[in-house]
Structure 1
C-alpha cells in the first residue's frame, strides 16, 4: 500500500471518497446543521410562547454535522436559564434581577469560576444576615454567599441519569441518547478569553470577523467543577459553546473529515482499552490548534491523510505533556488529572502505532464499514461486501433527520397543549394568544428562513386545535360549526398528511354533516400514500420498528417541507374539544382510574387525559361511522376491513391500544360481541393501566347480560 510514490495523496483521495460515501459531504453536513438548528429554533419559539425562563441550544456533533451513523453521537442540548443575570463586572448589575457575580481567585481553576449572589435592589453583595440559608443551594465562604453547582441533581426525571453536568436520557432503539446540560448565560465575553480575540495563527484562522462575532456570544456557566479544583460543589465551568459552534461552521470538508476520522480512531482503538480517558472535545480542540498553526492550503482532499497524521501527532504530544490546552482559554488543561500513568503510556503507544502505520490502521475501523470500504477503494485483495450503499446511507440519515424534526414538532405541540387549563373559554383565549403571537413573530422575521420555517411547522397544528375548540363550543351551543372554526381548520390542513384533515372531518361528523365529512376523509385518504407515509407521534417513547423504503427515498429529496407529504401525526383532542370527538373515542379521555392516577408520572403522562389516536386507524374508523350514517353498507364494510388490516400490519402505531378499542366498538355495532371482547383483551395486553378497555369490557358484559335477560323474559 505504501510503495506508491504518491502514496499519501492516493490514500487521501480514496479516503475522501469513502467518507463521501458514508455521507460526510457538504450536502449532508449542511442538511444536518439546518435540521438541528431548525429544531433549536422551534424549541426557542415554543419557550417564548410559554413565557418560559429558559432557552434551549443544540450543541455537539449532531448540530455541527461532524458525525456519522456509526459514531452514534449523543444529541446534546444546553438549557440556559434566563431568570438569572450572570455578570463579570459590577456595571452589568441589573435591578430587580437575580444577579450572580463571576469570581475567579486563587482557589478556582483556569476556565472555572465561583458565582456570588448579589442583592436585587442595589449593587451590593447579598448579606448573610438576609439569607434564609439553604445548605443544599448556597454556601457561605469568607462572608460571600456562593451558589452551589448541584442544581442539576435537584430534580431528575425517572429514567434519566446524571452524568457530570449533564442529565442523560437513554434513546429509544434506533435513536441517539440525549444529554441535557443546565447552564446560565453571561452576556459578556470571558475575561480569561480576551487574549484569544487578538490572536491569529499561520493560517489566518479564525478570522477577525469570526473573533468579533464570537465576542458577542458571551459565555455560559455550567454546573461542574474541575478535576483538580478545591471547590467541588462551588466551581462552575466557563463554556464558550456558541463561539465553538461558529468555529466548527467555518471548517471546510477536509477539516471536518479529519475530525470525524480522529473520533473514529478514538472510539475504535483508544477509549475501549484506556477507560475512555480521551474525549471527542479533546479531538476538536486538537483540530482547532492544528488549523490555527498550519496554512489553509494544506487542508485539501488530496492531503487528508497528512492532516490526520498531524492531528494525531499533536494529540500524542498533548498526551505526553498531559496538557491539552482549551483552544479559547488555553490555561484550562482539558487533560488535567484524567489519565493514570498506565493509561498515559497505553494511549501514547496506541497513537504511535497508528501514526507509524501511515494509514493502514484505518483499515481496521469497523465504524460505518470504513476499513472495508477503504480496502475496496485501494484494491487491496478481493472486493468485500458491506451492508449499506452510499444511496442507502444518505436515505437513512435523511429519514432520521426528518423523524427528528417531526418528533420536535409533535413534542412542542404537546407542550403547548399541556399549558392549557380546563375550561373551553380559557383554552380558547390561550390558543388564540399563541396563534396571534406566532403571526406577529412571522411578520417580524424578515428573511430568517429558519425562524419562518419553525413558525410554519408549529402554527398549523395550533390552528387545528383552536378550530376544534371553537367548533366544540359551536356544536354544544348551536349544533353548527362557525366560519371562524372552519377558517382555523383550513389553516391547519397542511400541518402534515392527515391530522389536520381528520380534526376537521371529526367535527363535521359530530355535527352531523356526513357528506362533507366523507369528502374531507376521501381527500385525506388520497394524500395518505400507504407505501410512503410514516406515522409520527411524541406521546411516548415508542420507536419506529422499520421505515418504508419509499419514505426513506422521499426524504433524500428535500428537508422539513416533506412533512406535508410523508408524515402522519397523531390526532389530539383536549377535553374541551369533546363535542368534536365521536363517543367511541371520548372514552379515552377518561381512561385513568383513581388507582391509575396514583401510578402516573404527571411530568410525562398528562396527555392521558386527552383523546389521542394514530391518524390511519382514525381515518378508517371515521369512514366506518360516516358511511354507516349514510347507509353505504359496502363502503362501510370496506372501511372496517381497512381498519382491521391497519391494526394487523402497521408496525409503527403509537396508540395501538386506542385503535383496537375503536375496532372493538365497531365490532359491537356489528353485533360481534365475542370479537369485541377479544379486541379489548388484546388492548389490555398491550397496556394494562390507563386503558379505556377496562371500562369498555364492563360495559360490553353488562349489555350482553341485559340482552340475555331480556331474551329469557
Structure 2
C-alpha cells in the first residue's frame, strides 16, 4: 500500500479526519483555551480582590488545547508569588521592595540560576552578617553571597498534595485529572541565556519577529528545583519560559497541534510503558518546535500530516541517540541530561525505528480515543464500530466537562473567600464582603470591554452578591424582623449566579421573615427553571467523580460560560452569621460537629462543616413544604414532601445527601411519621457517621417518642 504515490497524502487526510472527529479541531481547541484562561483569570482576580499577591497561571496541554478526552492530561497550575522583585540587571532594583538578583556562574547548570538577596534601601547585596547571628532555614551564605534556598517555597505546598519534583500533585482521585501545582517567582525581564534565541531565524521563519517580541515581554519564572546534575541541590532554581512557550503553542496551526497530539499518543502507547516514563510530553513539544523552526512552513498542511509526524519522530530519535534534547529557548539546557539509562536508550531507539518504518501502520495499534479502530474504519479496513461516539456527542461531552470546570472555579473562589470568615461575626463578614464587592465593581469598570477579566468578574459577582444580601438580611431579621431594601438589592444581583442557589437564598430569607407570599413566588419561579433532567448540580466541598446527565451534556453544546446561570445549580451555603436566614431545621447543620469530631477534622479541608450547606433541589422542595404549610395549602405541601422524598431516588448527584435526609426526617416528624423520620436519620448516619446533625436529631426524636 505504501508503494502508492498518494499513500502519504491519503493517510494524512484520513488521519486528520479522525483527529477532527475526536475533537482535535479549531473549534474545540479554542474552547479549551478559553476555559483555561478564564480559570486563571478568575483565580487571579479573586486573589487580587482579597489582597492576596499571588497570580495563577494554567500551563500545559489543557490550556493549550493539545489534549483529548483519552489522553486525560494533567492540570498544570503555576502559583506565582509576587512578593519579590526579581531582577537580572541592577538597573531593575526598586527601593522598598524585596529584591532578588538572578545570577549564574560556573557552578550553575544551563537553564538554572541562583537567587541573591539584596538590600531594600539601596542597590547593594545583603550583607552576610545579617545571617551570622540568627538561624534562617530559607537562606544561606555561599561564596560571600546571601542566597535564597529553593526550599523556601515549601510552605506553599498544598495540605493534601504529594511531592513531585517542583510540583505538588493532587493524584489518584477517581474521575478527576491529576493536578500539578507549582509555586514560582516571576522575573519581568527575558532570561539572559535565552537572548540569542531572539536573534535566530530558521528555515521555517518561525517564530515570527512579532511572536519573539511578545515572548520577550513575558519575562520568565524561576521554579524551586535544581538540575539533576547540578552542584547546588538546595540553591539552584530552574528558569522557565512557560508564558513564551504558551504563546508559541497558541500560534501553531491545526496540523502542527495534531502532530503533537499524535506524538503524545505514541509516547503513552508504545514508549513510556516499556521505558519507565523517561520521555516527557514537554520533550515532544520541544521536538515539534525545533521541527517547525527548521522546515518550510508550507509543509505543515493536513495532506502532509503523516510526513510531518515521521519527521518529528526522526528528530526525537536523533535527540535520544545523542542523549541531548536542547530546550527551545535555552538550547544549552539539555532536557534529557541524566534521564535515560543505556537500557532504556536502546529500547526507545528500537521502538521509534519500528514506528518510523511502519509508515503510519503503528497508529492502528493506538487505543487512546479509539484512534486505531477509527482510522481503520475511515481507511475502509474494517467495519464501523457501533459504540463510537459521534463527533457531535464528543464535542458535547467535552463542552460539558469544560463548563463544569468553569463553574467549579466560580464556587471554589467563593468558598476560599468565605473560609477565612467562617467564625467571624455578622458585622465583620458584612464589612469584608462589602469591601470585596466594592473592589470588584471598581475593577469591572476599569478593565476593557472584551477583556477576559471582565467575563471573570461577571461570573464571580452574583455568588458574592447573594452572600452579602443574606448577611445583611440576617442582621435585619435579628434586629427589625424585616429585610431591608439594601439586602433585597444584593439578593437581586445574585439571582442569576446559577439556576437555583441565589434564588433559594432569597426564598430562605423571605420564609424566615414570614413573607410567605413572596417566598412562594420565588420558589415557584425557581422550580419552573429547574429541570432535573438537564440541570447539573455542583458542589466543591470535597472532590468526587462527576456524573454528567445526558440532558445537561446536550445543553452544553450551545455555548460557553454563560450557560452556568441556565444549566447549573450550586449547593446553597450559609455561614453562621447568616443564621437568621436559615430555617431552624437547617440550623442544626451549623453545629453538627462534637468536640470529638473536631479532633478528627482537617480544618484546611473540612472548614465547611461549620456551615449549613444543602443541595439546591432538595432545599427547593423543603422550602416549598415549609412555605405551603405556613400558607395552609395542604395539597401543595404534600406534593412538595413527595418531591423531596423521591429526590433521593431520581437525583444521582446529591453531594450533601445526609443533610437532605436530615431535612426530610424533620418533615416526617412534623407529619408525626416517627418511624420514617428515624429511618431517614439512620440512612443519613450510614452516609456520614461523624460530623452529622443526625446524631442529635435521633436523640431528640427518641426522647420525644419516650415522653409521648
Deviates further, 20-29 or 663-672: 663-672
Instruction: Give the superposition deviation at 1:453.
Output: 1.1
How has the CA–CA distance of structure 1 residues 535 and 178 changed in structure 2, closer, same or farther, with 3 Å as cutoff? same
Question: What per-residue deviation string (whole Å, max 9, x for no partner) do you get for residues 445-500 of structure 1?
Answer: 12234211111111001111111111111111111111111111111111100001
Structure 2 equivalent of residue 514 of structure 1 = 516
Instruction: Give the superposition deviation at 1:135.
Output: 5.5
Distance across 2 between alignment mates of 1:687 and 1:4: 65
Structure 1 equivalent of residue 362 of structure 2 = 361
Instruction: Give the superposition deviation at 1:535.
Output: 0.4
SS of aligned partner of 1:493:
coil
Instruction: Give the superposition deviation at 1:684.
Output: 1.0
Structure 2 equivalent of residue 7 of structure 1 = 7
Q: Is the Cα contact below 8 Å between 1:369 and 1:386 reproduced in 2?
A: no
How has the CA–CA distance of structure 1 residues 398 and 438 changed in structure 2, closer, same or farther, with 3 Å as cutoff? same
* 2:532 corresponds to 1:530: yes
Structure 1 equivalent of residue 458 of structure 2 = 456
Distance across 1 between alignment mates of 2:583 and 2:152: 46
Structure 2 equivalent of residue 710 of structure 1 = none
Distance across 1 between alignment mates of 2:541 and 2:397: 23
Distance across 1 between alignment mates of 2:303 and 2:650: 50
Structure 2 equivalent of residue 23 of structure 1 = 23
How has the CA–CA distance of structure 1 residues 121 and 50 changed in structure 2, closer, same or farther, with 3 Å as cutoff? same
Structure 2 equivalent of residue 81 of structure 1 = 81
Q: Is the Cα contact below 8 Å between 1:373 and 1:386 reproduced in 2?
A: no
TM-score by length of 1: 0.97
Distance across 2 between alignment mates of 1:158 and 1:464: 30
Correspondent of 1:471 among 456, 470, 473: 473
Distance across 1 between alignment mates of 2:322 and 2:246: 27
Structure 2 equivalent of residue 562 of structure 1 = 563
Q: Is the Cα contact below 8 Å between 1:152 and 1:165 reproduced in 2?
A: no
Distance across 2 between alignment mates of 1:462 and 1:647: 29
Distance across 1 between alignment mates of 2:110 and 2:358: 37
Residue correspondence of structure 1 range 329-348 to structure 2 within 5 A: 329-348=330-349
Instruction: Give the superposition deviation at 1:231.
Output: 1.0
Distance across 1 between alignment mates of 2:399 and 2:384: 28
* 2:472 corresponds to 1:493: no
SS of aligned partner of 1:556:
helix
Structure 2 equivalent of residue 92 of structure 1 = 92
Question: What per-residue deviation string (whole Å, max 9, x for no partner) do you get for residues 558-587 of structure 1?
Answer: 100111111000111111111100000011
Distance across 1 between alignment mates of 2:568 and 2:604: 27
Distance across 2 between alignment mates of 1:427 and 1:138: 38
Residues paired across the two proteins, number? 706
Instruction: Give the superposition deviation at 1:4.
Output: 2.6
Structure 2 equivalent of residue 327 of structure 1 = 328
SS of aligned partner of 1:129:
helix
Instruction: Give the superposition deviation at 1:277.
Output: 0.9
Question: What per-residue deviation string (whole Å, max 9, x for no partner) do you get for residues 659-705 of structure 1?
Answer: 01101110111111111111111111111111111111111122222
Structure 2 equivalent of residue 684 of structure 1 = 685
Structure 1 equivalent of residue 662 of structure 2 = 661
Distance across 1 between alignment mates of 2:385 and 2:456: 44
Instruction: Give the superposition deviation at 1:652.
Output: 0.9
SS of aligned partner of 2:129:
coil
Question: What per-residue deviation string (whole Å, max 9, x for no partner) do you get for residues 38-95 of structure 1?
Answer: 0110001100011112111000000000000111100000001001121111222222
Instruction: Give the superposition deviation at 1:538.
Output: 0.9
Structure 2 equivalent of residue 504 of structure 1 = 506
SS of aligned partner of 1:507:
helix
Structure 1 equivalent of residue 269 of structure 2 = 268
Deviates further, 241-250 or 144-153: 144-153
Structure 2 equivalent of residue 441 of structure 1 = 443
Structure 1 equivalent of residue 108 of structure 2 = 108
Structure 2 equivalent of residue 39 of structure 1 = 39
Structure 1 equivalent of residue 72 of structure 2 = 72
SS of aligned partner of 2:439:
helix
Q: CA RMSD in A?
A: 1.3
SS of aligned partner of 1:605:
helix
Instruction: Give the superposition deviation at 1:442.
Output: 1.0
Distance across 1 between alignment mates of 2:549 and 2:144: 64
Instruction: Give the superposition deviation at 1:386.
Output: 4.4
Distance across 2 between alignment mates of 1:650 and 1:289: 51
Distance across 1 between alignment mates of 2:662 and 2:539: 19
Distance across 2 between alignment mates of 1:114 and 1:570: 47
Distance across 1 between alignment mates of 2:101 and 2:440: 36
Instruction: Give the superposition deviation at 1:152.
Output: 4.5
Instruction: Give the superposition deviation at 1:170.
Output: 1.9
Q: Is the Cα contact below 8 Å between 1:152 and 1:167 reproduced in 2?
A: no
Residue correspondence of structure 1 range 220-235 to structure 2 within 5 A: 220-235=221-236
Structure 2 equivalent of residue 711 of structure 1 = none
Distance across 2 between alignment mates of 1:244 and 1:687: 46
SS of aligned partner of 1:342:
helix
Instruction: Give the superposition deviation at 1:649.
Output: 2.4
Deviates further, 643-652 or 523-532: 643-652
Instruction: Give the superposition deviation at 1:257.
Output: 0.2
